[in-house]
Structure 1
Amino acid sequence: MNQQRHLSYPAAIAIVSLIFFAWGGMTSLNDVLIPHLKAVFAMNYAQTMLIQFTFFGAYFLMSLPSGSIVSRLGYKPSIVIGLLTAAVGALLFYPAAKLPSYGVFLTALFVLASGITLLQVAANPYISLLGNPATSHSRLNLAQALNSLGTTVFPFFIGPLILSGAVLGTEQLAAMTPEALATYRTAQAQSVQVPYVLLAAGLVLMAVLVFALRIPPLREATDAADGRHHTYAEALRRPHLRWGVLAIFLYVGAEVSIGSFLINYMAMPDIGGLSEATASRYLVWYWGGAMVGRFIGAALMTVVDARKLLALFAVVAAVLLAITMGSKGSIALWSVLAIGLFNSIMFPTIFTSAIEGMGPLTGKASSLLVMAIVGGAVIPLAQGALADHIGIQAAFFLPLACYAYIAWYGLHGSRLGVQALPHDAVQTPVRAMH
């Protein structure tokens, strides 16, 4: 590769990291859409949860097609297509609000999430391949930290624009005349139009930027590298990838499970005795801890073996869960909140470990890993069933078991098969940064 014809690796990393920031922010806006659309369409919670079901369903359904796109076209074109697809989804919010139609809102959300899925499949491995392989874990952790920053910033600045009108309760809506109710719902629905049109414009600008600024194509790590059509079964023959797919499934499941139960857990009389409103403010310690931990982790991984650090953080998370399961009061409360700090490095470190040495199979491997994010839907459901029978505190045994597996993966599973890969597969597609 003639690097003089392309942007330097640091410049390319900065551009792609901006994309991580953007998709993190768009994902977090779902938390704003849920109460907003619930009020607009007077829905129950089950109907409103179709927002999350639709969004995360796109990860499951679109990951394999996204992997095929990356394998055939390469990373840069796939990132451009992902940005433009997400922009189309954001633009569809305009007619959805104009109608207004919940079905069109869900369609818009699915298209938006499909674009983000392609970005996940393309950008995660791309940024890990940009530069010295020894620091790939650190680069992806830093990019994921900016992703977490987006999840914090977008709701703070864009959320008030969407929720600009007063959200009325069921009794207030019931007291309105049909004409007043229709006017209210139309005004509420249309408050999403300007924010999402602006988001669409920003996504198009980023797509133009990526297309115009000759970022390194890295086609060596796609099917185009050897002219062969590789299969997902071929990728799954690598043990460290197989165990990595399971590790992503269990990690995302554990993280989402703990977060989903935190408010109810902290409201328990023998834990925190907090009101739900007060308990919700404590969530910043859990999710904010993950953001801070990724910045710290990115620095630590320049001097500490990433796999060992992953195992250590998983063990600490498991110990904190054991403490919260066996204690009461403030110790139980703060030990579970502290897990967020140690969750921080897990997703990016598992991801980079799982795609190591995959060569032309990297695109296929990435799509399988992104598909495993569906663990965020499955594990919380299983923990909920446990909590109904044995209580929330005892049900934390399930994520504890997930962290135990992740510790094993960091020490052993992530190394299985890496050294046994054929010589042409373990060739690093990008040389160290000069």
Structure 2
Amino acid sequence: MHPPAASTTASGHSSGATPLFPLALIVSLFFLWGVANNLNDVLVAQFKKAFTLSDFQAALVQSAFYLGYFIVALPAGAFMRRYGYKSAVLFGLCLYGVGALLFWPAAAYATYAMFLAALFVIACGLAFLETSANPYVTLLGPASSAASRLNLAQAFNPLGSITGVLIGQQFIFTGVEHTPQELAAMGAGARDAFMKSEAAAVQLPYLVIGLGVLAWALVILVTRFPSVANREEGEPAAHGVLKRLLRDGRLLGAIAAQFFYVGAQVAVFSHMIRYTQATVPGTTAKEAAGFVTAGLVCFMAGRFAGAGLMKHLKASRVLALFALANVLLMAVAAFMPGRPGIYALVASSFFMSVMYPTIFALGVEGKGDDERKFAAALLVMAIIGGAVLTAAMGVASDRVGIAHSMLVPAVCFIAIFLFAQQHWQRVTAGVTA
């Protein structure tokens, strides 16, 4: 028998004690999309090998993925307002699961375009999950503990990211590497068999992920969640809010900063394996993936350290210092390839850690409830930077080499530094809190 649904307060929060099992189910979503996001870093290297792609072509993995976020963010918000948080979560999980299952036929036909289509479907599902899960967590319980619940949920995201890389490292990377010369020396039949086997390596992991995600959706479907307020916005009011937001210079600056941040983060992680193999010859993709895992551990550590610093320094000041540190680390990666550059890329994860939530918070700062919803959707759309700038870095890598292509994220971090400095100047001038 289901427990009675909790009542809802005027602010939309469920009253009474926090419903632990429903909360745990929603918190798990942060882990699940972390797995999908960082498995892409493995796929970039795997597909480059399986389909003999250029760096630009391999980077299309991220372009297809983050294009889904960009296209679906606002429709996901509209779906959520019309049908509710739980329905949006279920729809997102179904898209995620179906996209993962599409890897099986894509590998069977060994078609790169089918893989990109499957990744696009997964990304559409994750856009629904990210748009709905963040506010849903804050509403599942008393308003007084909303922030702590969301912080707990966000802590599971890097754990999912690490798990995604480990899945790729252990179950997708075969450890078999051939140089272009060795591939050219192979007979056509042997070369074709090798490439098909490398494409097929993704089948079983994504089959398990797809079935697991759909099973999780079923558990959420049969679980009763507390009722929460889900007020719909009328279209005229929505258009008015959007028009006001698009004239808000501070929000537009945050959207631009978020575009550059996501682009820089995705570009660095996507090319870390390739950078390691290119600058330390003889390193296998499986060995290079260990540096991605190390970077994600640094990412987790950076979140705790950044949160501690923000108790003593303004968020914009911490953001500026961390962005400047990453400009310097990207310069090391660009001009000192090899072990020093690899260590610089791993260390950059520490300083990237606070950027997304800090830029997000500065962007929605001072906004009312209606404006905050639409501002959040616009900031999620800025994730398209992961598609655009990762592809740009792939082009740069093909033309000037993987090491010098690290100047692309360096420029991104300069843009973030300028945004943080501008916000800091407003703070010191007393324009904003």
Tell whether the structures are fold-level matches, with TM greater than 0.5: yes
1:406 to 411, 420, 432: 420
Residues 116-143 of structure 1: per-residue CA shift (max 9 Å, x gap): 1221222233334555667656554443
Q: Compute the displacement of 1:112 (Å).
A: 1.0
Question: Given the alignment of the two structures, is residue 248 of structure 1 paired with residue 258 of structure 2, yes or no?
Answer: yes
Distance in 1, Cα, partners of 2:144 & 2:188: 64
2:40 to 17, 30, 35: 30
User: Match for residue 52 of structure 1?
Assistant: 62
Q: Compute the displacement of 1:56 (Å).
A: 1.7
Mapping for residues 372-391 of structure 1, pairs under 5 Å: 372-378=382-388, 381=392
2:232 to 223, 227, 243: 223
Question: Given the alignment of the two structures, is residue 344 of structure 1 paired with residue 353 of structure 2, yes or no?
Answer: yes
Question: Given the alignment of the two structures, is residue 304 of structure 1 paired with residue 314 of structure 2, yes or no?
Answer: no
Question: Given the alignment of the two structures, is residue 150 of structure 1 paired with residue 160 of structure 2, yes or no?
Answer: yes
Mapping for residues 199-348 of structure 1, pairs under 5 Å: 199-216=209-226, 218-220=228-230, 222-223=231-232, 230-231=238-239, 232-236=242-246, 241-256=251-266, 277=283, 284=293, 286-296=295-305, 300=308, 304=311, 309-321=314-326, 338-348=347-357
Change (3 A) 1:39 1:228: same
Change (3 A) 1:260 1:174: closer
Distance in 2, Cα, partners of 1:165 & 1:322: 33
Distance in 1, Cα, partners of 2:274 & 2:45: 18
The answer to whether the Cα contact below 8 Å between 2:106 and 2:115 also exists between their aligned partners in 1 is yes
Distance in 1, Cα, partners of 2:22 & 2:422: 34
Residues 373-392 of structure 1: per-residue CA shift (max 9 Å, x gap): 1233455648997997xx77
Q: Compute the displacement of 1:23 (Å).
A: 0.9
1:107 to 102, 117, 136: 117
Q: Compute the displacement of 1:293 (Å).
A: 2.4
Residues 157-205 of structure 1: per-residue CA shift (max 9 Å, x gap): 3442223473444344444444444444443333322211111111112
User: Match for residue 79 of structure 2?
Assistant: 69
Distance in 1, Cα, partners of 2:192 & 2:330: 49
Distance in 1, Cα, partners of 2:175 & 2:169: 11
1:311 partner letter: S
Q: Compute the displacement of 1:101 (Å).
A: 2.0
Residues 236-286 of structure 1: per-residue CA shift (max 9 Å, x gap): 456664443233223324444666787899999xxxx97694987655554
2:357 partner letter: P
Residues 384-416 of structure 1: per-residue CA shift (max 9 Å, x gap): 97997xx77987465134123135447848x99
TM-score scaled by structure 2?
0.75
2:360 partner letter: F
Change (3 A) 1:141 1:344: farther
The answer to whether the Cα contact below 8 Å between 2:103 and 2:202 also exists between their aligned partners in 1 is yes
Secondary structure of the corresponding residue to residue 73 of structure 2: helix
Distance in 1, Cα, partners of 2:405 & 2:186: 40
Change (3 A) 1:256 1:99: closer
Change (3 A) 1:228 1:25: same
Can you give the 5+ residue segments of structure 1 that lack an aligned partner in the other structure? Answer: 420-434
Change (3 A) 1:365 1:10: farther
Q: How many pairs does the alignment contain?
A: 408
The percentage of counterpart residues that share the same residue type is 31
Distance in 1, Cα, partners of 2:344 & 2:179: 36
Change (3 A) 1:258 1:195: closer
